[in-house]
Structure 1
Amino acid sequence: MIILQANQVARLFGADVLFENIQMEIDSHARIALVGRNGAGKSTLLKIIAGSEQPDAGQVIRNKNIRLGYLAQNSGLASEETVWNEMLKAFDSLRQMEQRMRQLEVEMGQIDVTSAQYQSLLKEYDQIQHQFAENNGYGYENEIRSVLHGFQFGAEFYEQAINNLSGGQRTRLALAKLLLQKPDLLILDEPTNHLDIETLAWLEGYLQAYQGALLIVSHDRYFLDKVVTEVYELSRQKMRYFKGNYSKYLDLKAQQLASEWKAYEKQQEEIQKLEDFVARNLVRASTTKRAQSRRKQLEKMDRLDKPQGDEKSAHFLFDIEKASGNVVLQLTDGAIGYEETILSAPIELDIRKQEAIALVGPNGIGKSTLLKSIIGKIPLIQGQLHLGTNVSIGYYDQGQAELNANKTILHELWDEHPTTPEGDIRTILGSFLFSGEEVEKPIALLSGGEKARVALAKLSMNKDNFLVLDEPTNHLDIDNKEVLENALIDYEGTLLFVSHDRYFINRIATKVIELSETGSKLYLGDYDYYLEKKREEAELKALLEQETTQTKEANTAGKQSFQQSKEQQKQLRSLKRKAEQYEQEIEALEEKITELELAMTLPENLANHQALVELNTSLEAAKEQQEKLLEQWEAIIGELEVIEDATN
């Protein structure tokens, strides 16, 4: 059943058209993504569909019986209530039913059960009770707890006043309340902002099971692939529809563009032939009539527009001025936090040249704090930090605090590189989509996406060999995210970055470091590998917990199995021997790698191309073997930790 239609909708700003002739249909169980560049008008269109703004042309027709819920981008919940009391408001109608049921129970207890009045009250009570039960009246408090838990609000938050919480927490509560209200059409503008990876995964699962319709704007490709089944693309003032998730949309869009080019080129060939025939034969008496016929055919032809590919994207690279040594950064027994509050410890980092490491963990665990400690903005509470030879750090701040609001875009770069000609600065800014008079805009007037591009432009000019990036994809649309990904994949330096964009992590990361209250843990792979290892750890932990529970029960009954304990000790000894063997092999390879790198710098080898090739081949083989051994060693250490925890 169609619950909403947008017909010929337009938004105009004087003579300028933001979008026009927009057509959209939303079914009662639709899962729709609205995608497009920053500035295309996605948020404006959502406001028109939600009814908070009126279109300049066209109309939005809504089913009169539908309940519509709309969450604007970064809109936090403003309330003087506690978290729990505010969430209860989502169930006001149920609570009124509950109150009426209690009232009827009192009234029925005061009158004769054989009277007509009693029977009338009993009938009303049965009707309300049936409706109450159908709408989860006996379980809505558990539903509140479940949703709050999904958004990382434990019981300690229930009695806290909402106005005392952070902006990010209030944004999550606004979304939580909207989900609890269960509107027939849920319209969400960038709902994944301020969510950590664990919460994102929970929200994906919740929305997949949502009973109503969804209309979502998001730049999170992983999220869109999991949740949506239809895509509307808003581009160049027009709308296009594609069936499928985001990845399917990309495939269909490419196929459609190829088909349009084929049809366009075929028609152009036909036009060329007709025009040539007319030009050659119009003045000849014997062929004039045929030429006139061809000319009429040309005039009647419905000419296809030249296909337009993707809109203009930024295009840039990150170069390095000077290569660093093999060891880029090492941190031993680190602890981060503020004053006496430790957020995470112990933290161990060993970052090597050309590695790309993603730092993940829940919100509030200190990921940004660790990055700021590495660049020297916040002191470590404890630990020894060592930077390698020739390491130069470039830092990207997610809040763009490094930008000067009083400067123009041009002078933000030029003042740091005064010897660079203005023309060169303008060329660099052009590659980040700032051209002409745009470079004279003050930083203070820029959007989040524009500030992000300025910050990236500054970073590219510095040519540092170690980039420390805090949420670099925030505020970037999907196309410009892909440009950034490609630039970082081609980057010859070293990367350490924090991101909640799982697609981005998958493309960039060669290793993942998980930060928790108990410190850091290394995973030797991309995000999908990290997820797989986490699942394996959870399954193993559950199995061991089950075995431990069974063992404790057996101990209580006086039936502890000596053989089982013996087997565990045997398994522990075996794993420790394997771990020691791998450590020795890894250490030997490390020495070999160091020797090969040193050999490549010797004058006799630098002058011998064949020798250099052979040394480099040996070096790459040694590094590859070392990675494999590290992965196997890490798996064994993980098993040891789990078994030792279970036996303690």
Structure 2
Amino acid sequence: MILLQVNQLSKYFAADLILSNIKFEIQTNDRVALVGRNGAGKSTLLKIIAGYESHDGGEIIRPKGTMIGYLAQNTGLESEKSIWDEMLAVFDHLHSMEKDLRRLEEKMSDSVILSNETEYERVMKEYDLLQVQFKEKGGYQYEADIRSVLHGLNFHSFDYSTKISTLSGGQKTRLALAKLLLTRPDILILDEPTNHLDIDTLSWLEQYLQGYDGAILIVSHDRYFLDKVVNQVYEISRHQLTKFPGNYSSYLEQKAANYERDLKLFEKQQDEISKLQDFIQRNLARASTTKRAQSRRKQLEKIDRMDRPMGDEKSASFSFQIERQSGNDVLKVDTLAVGYQNEVVSRDITFNLSRGDSTALVGPNGVGKSTLLKTIVEKLPSITGNIQYGSNVSIGYYDQEQAELSSNKKVLNELWDEYPLKSEKEIRTVLGNFLFSGDDVLKIVSTLSGGEKARLALAKLMLQNSNFLILDEPTNHLDLDSKEVLENALIDYPGTILFVSHDRYFINRIATKVLELDRGGSTEYLGDYDYYVEKKLEQEELKALAEQAAKASGSAVDNSKQDKTSYQQDKEAKKLERQRKRRMEEVETKIEQLELEVAEYEELLCDPEVFQDHEKAGEINSKIETAKEKLDELMEEWTELA
């Protein structure tokens, strides 16, 4: 079923054309990615579709009753309610239905209605119909749904009575996403939903969206996320929209293949035109070949000339060099505790970095990753422990908040003032490599977009020629093309890198080591992100095996038993999977039984002999409440198992 059609849509900002002749449609269960350079008009198109911005031409058609849910970039949920009450507000319609059910139950116990058989039958039918609707709309499981979504978005450790107004900006953004997911709109529109999400939460969101009932339209700069979620890609380039079936990696392959094909066709036609023109010039004046030349000229005039295919739009172009080499030992961190004003965020952090290492620092939000980086670059004091720098180490630091880029200087002066010995031409060349051309260099720094600030911060970092780069979320605000340029520059960088990123594709390309941080210390993994995930899964399987063995034997498991062979691990993993599936089946059966029990009890309440006996009615109501509580617990367990 078609949920949305966009026909010949256009949009201007003042006299500047942003979107031209945009045409596409969204059907039920479509998973669509909207990609393109920063400034191409992606967010503008989402706002127009969601009804938050007007358009200058064309039309948007959607069937009556189609519900659109939209989450803008960095939208925080502003509310004076508690977390639980705000999420519960999504289901006000179910609360209303519950009240109606209670009202009808009271009616059915009314002696006047009981004495009127026709009226009693009418009320009974109304009650039965409402009860079916209530169940179909999730009336018996919405609280379990709320817990499931809050748990997935990393609120499991929170007191749900916490007021939203006391939370951080990132937490409010995650709650805005949670509330939108619970509304289950027909078309879910998400603009950069992966901002403020750690890797575990990202993985949960991927799985949630893969099973989502409606259609999804996403703008994201996370390639790993797009590959997992989408089945169509629309690219905005030069004001136009082009469709590519498949995920993001498939889109890149198709785009490259299309360009190669179109270029070959263009060159073949150009060769044909050249030959015809040459024949006409040589033979038109000769009497014996004039007719043939005239025939070729008619043939030439009939050719529908192709335009040279346009390649990618201009990308940033840069590389990181070093002024001098550091010693082999770059950084030693020993039993370090970090935090703010003597309040410890993470402790017992110990690791070493050697020259040439490229280390990804990972861990859940709030564990102290940025705090650790700020402590290493001496923007924050350490609480306890020791940090030792190697010989000749020069640090270049990239701050994810770009707090230092808030001046009222022009872009040109922001760079030139730090490197006054360079000529204006050299500074403009550097800025041009970071896509600041023409009048862009005269923009005021504080007015720049997130992507522009990120590119300017990278330009400043490049000119430092430091041999140790410490990067805090360097890919935030960069479009996919700029990310790729940054990846290539860091891969070729001859120095040492320590970086924080939630972009798993970026970590896979850059990292030679992964350092996992938690509140009680750090753990090192020698490999990229995929290796780290594999090792974590192995550890979890071994832990589960150890716990099972301990329960079975009634004693602690000897440490040596944890060193299982691959065969045993695989065998046990399959066993655990079978147990999980069996438990799911058991839970599903119990849920069905409880739902039947609730229905039977509620039917009993309709019996005049029961509802006229207040003691019996009270007893049955108590049983209904107990059954519903058990039902909620089982629904929550089923969600976790699934």
TM value normalised by structure 1: 0.85
Instruction: Give the Cα separation in 1 of the matches to 2:174 and 2:361.
Output: 22
- Given the alignment of the two structures, is residue 46 of structure 1 paired with residue 46 of structure 2, yes or no? yes
Instruction: Give the Cα separation in 2 of the matches to 1:375 and 1:286.
Output: 85
- Given the alignment of the two structures, is residue 18 of structure 1 paired with residue 14 of structure 2, yes or no? no
- 1:467–1:496 contact (8 Å) kept in structure 2: yes
Question: After superposition, what is the alpha-carbon deviation per residue over 1:289-340, rounded to whole angstroms, capped at 9, x for unaligned?
Answer: 3323322222222111101111100111100001000000001111111123
- Given the alignment of the two structures, is residue 494 of structure 1 paired with residue 524 of structure 2, yes or no? no
Secondary structure class of the residue paired with 1:347: strand
- 2:188–2:216 contact (8 Å) kept in structure 1: yes
Instruction: Give the Cα separation in 2 of the matches to 1:346 and 1:13.
Output: 53
Matches within 5 A, 1:55-66: 55-66=55-66
Structure 2 residue aligned with 1:283 = 285
Secondary structure class of the residue paired with 1:156: coil
Instruction: Give the Cα separation in 2 of the matches to 1:503 and 1:405.
Output: 33
Deviates more, 1:348-357 or 1:294-303: 294-303
Structure 2 residue aligned with 1:362 = 364
Structure 2 residue aligned with 1:240 = 242
Instruction: Give the Cα separation in 1 of the matches to 2:209 and 2:455.
Output: 32
AA in 1 matched with 2:80: E
Deviates more, 1:504-513 or 1:18-27: 18-27
AA in 1 matched with 2:379: K
Instruction: Give the Cα separation in 2 of the matches to 1:299 and 1:87.
Output: 67
Matches within 5 A, 1:110-129: 110-111=110-111, 113=114, 115-129=117-131
User: Out of 377, 389, 399, which is 1:397 matched to?
Assistant: 399
User: Out of 546, 552, 557, which is 1:550 matched to?
Assistant: 552
Please report how far the alpha carbon of residue 569 of structure 1 lies from its aligned counterpart in structure 2 after TM superposition: 6.7
Structure 2 residue aligned with 1:348 = 350
Instruction: Give the Cα separation in 2 of the matches to 1:36 and 1:436.
Output: 22
Matches within 5 A, 1:483-522: 483-522=485-524
Instruction: Give the Cα separation in 2 of the matches to 1:60 and 1:499.
Output: 38
Please report how far the alpha carbon of residue 452 of structure 1 lies from its aligned counterpart in structure 2 after TM superposition: 0.5
Please report how far the alpha carbon of residue 570 of structure 1 lies from its aligned counterpart in structure 2 after TM superposition: 6.4
Instruction: Give the Cα separation in 2 of the matches to 1:24 and 1:84.
Output: 38
- 1:9–1:22 contact (8 Å) kept in structure 2: yes
Matches within 5 A, 1:235-634: 235-552=237-554, 568=558
Instruction: Give the Cα separation in 1 of the matches to 2:151 and 2:485.
Output: 36
- Given the alignment of the two structures, is residue 139 of structure 1 paired with residue 141 of structure 2, yes or no? yes
Instruction: Give the Cα separation in 1 of the matches to 2:368 and 2:184.
Output: 34
AA in 2 matched with 1:547: A
Please report how far the alpha carbon of residue 96 of structure 1 lies from its aligned counterpart in structure 2 after TM superposition: 1.1
Instruction: Give the Cα separation in 1 of the matches to 2:472 and 2:187.
Output: 34
AA in 2 matched with 1:477: D
Please report how far the alpha carbon of residue 183 of structure 1 lies from its aligned counterpart in structure 2 after TM superposition: 0.5
Structure 2 residue aligned with 1:222 = 224
Distance 1:570 1:378, change over 3 A: closer
Question: After superposition, what is the alpha-carbon deviation per residue over 1:250-295, rounded to whole angstroms, capped at 9, x for unaligned?
Answer: 1111111111011111111111111112222223333333323322
Q: Which consecutive unaligned segments of at least 5 residues does structure 2 have?
A: 566-642
Distance 1:157 1:287, change over 3 A: farther
Structure 2 residue aligned with 1:599 = none
Structure 2 residue aligned with 1:592 = none
Question: After superposition, what is the alpha-carbon deviation per residue over 1:196-233, rounded to whole angstroms, capped at 9, x for unaligned?
Answer: 11110110000000010000000000000000010001
TM value normalised by structure 2: 0.85
Instruction: Give the Cα separation in 2 of the matches to 1:137 and 1:460.
Output: 57
Structure 2 residue aligned with 1:94 = 94
- 1:328–1:352 contact (8 Å) kept in structure 2: yes
Please report how far the alpha carbon of residue 431 of structure 1 lies from its aligned counterpart in structure 2 after TM superposition: 1.0
| Large movers: runs of 4+ above 4 Å | 569-575
Count of aligned pairs? 563
Please report how far the alpha carbon of residue 572 of structure 1 lies from its aligned counterpart in structure 2 after TM superposition: 8.7
The higher relative CO (CA closer than 8 Å, separation ≥ 6) is in 2
Distance 1:300 1:160, change over 3 A: same
Question: After superposition, what is the alpha-carbon deviation per residue over 1:398-434, rounded to whole angstroms, capped at 9, x for unaligned?
Answer: 1111224221111111111111222211111111111
Structure 1 residue aligned with 2:33 = 33
Question: After superposition, what is the alpha-carbon deviation per residue over 1:169-197, rounded to whole angstroms, capped at 9, x for unaligned?
Answer: 11111111110000011011111111111
AA in 2 matched with 1:91: F
Distance 1:15 1:271, change over 3 A: farther
- 1:113–1:119 contact (8 Å) kept in structure 2: no
Instruction: Give the Cα separation in 2 of the matches to 1:491 and 1:380.
Output: 29
Distance 1:278 1:16, change over 3 A: farther
Question: After superposition, what is the alpha-carbon deviation per residue over 1:458-480, rounded to whole angstroms, capped at 9, x for unaligned?
Answer: 00101000000000000000000
Secondary structure class of the residue paired with 2:158: helix
Q: Which consecutive unaligned segments of at least 5 residues does structure 1 have?
A: 553-559, 576-648
Distance 1:487 1:26, change over 3 A: same
AA in 1 matched with 2:196: H
Please report how far the alpha carbon of residue 155 of structure 1 lies from its aligned counterpart in structure 2 after TM superposition: 6.1
Secondary structure class of the residue paired with 1:186: strand
AA in 2 matched with 1:262: K
Secondary structure class of the residue paired with 2:534: helix
- 1:76–1:174 contact (8 Å) kept in structure 2: yes
Instruction: Give the Cα separation in 2 of the matches to 1:12 and 1:99.
Output: 50
- 1:355–1:494 contact (8 Å) kept in structure 2: yes
- 1:404–1:412 contact (8 Å) kept in structure 2: no
Structure 2 residue aligned with 1:84 = 84
Instruction: Give the Cα separation in 2 of the matches to 1:237 and 1:284.
Output: 50
Structure 2 residue aligned with 1:3 = 3
Structure 1 residue aligned with 2:577 = none
Instruction: Give the Cα separation in 2 of the matches to 1:574 and 1:504.
Output: 32
Secondary structure class of the residue paired with 1:486: helix
Cα RMSD for the two superposed structures: 1.7
Secondary structure class of the residue paired with 1:285: coil
Structure 2 residue aligned with 1:640 = none
Structure 2 residue aligned with 1:103 = 103
Percent identical among aligned pairs is 61
- 2:97–2:134 contact (8 Å) kept in structure 1: yes
Structure 1 residue aligned with 2:75 = 75
AA in 2 matched with 1:130: V
Deviates more, 1:104-113 or 1:271-280: 104-113
Instruction: Give the Cα separation in 2 of the matches to 1:474 and 1:33.
Output: 18
AA in 2 matched with 1:134: E
AA in 2 matched with 1:515: L
Please report how far the alpha carbon of residue 83 of structure 1 lies from its aligned counterpart in structure 2 after TM superposition: 1.3
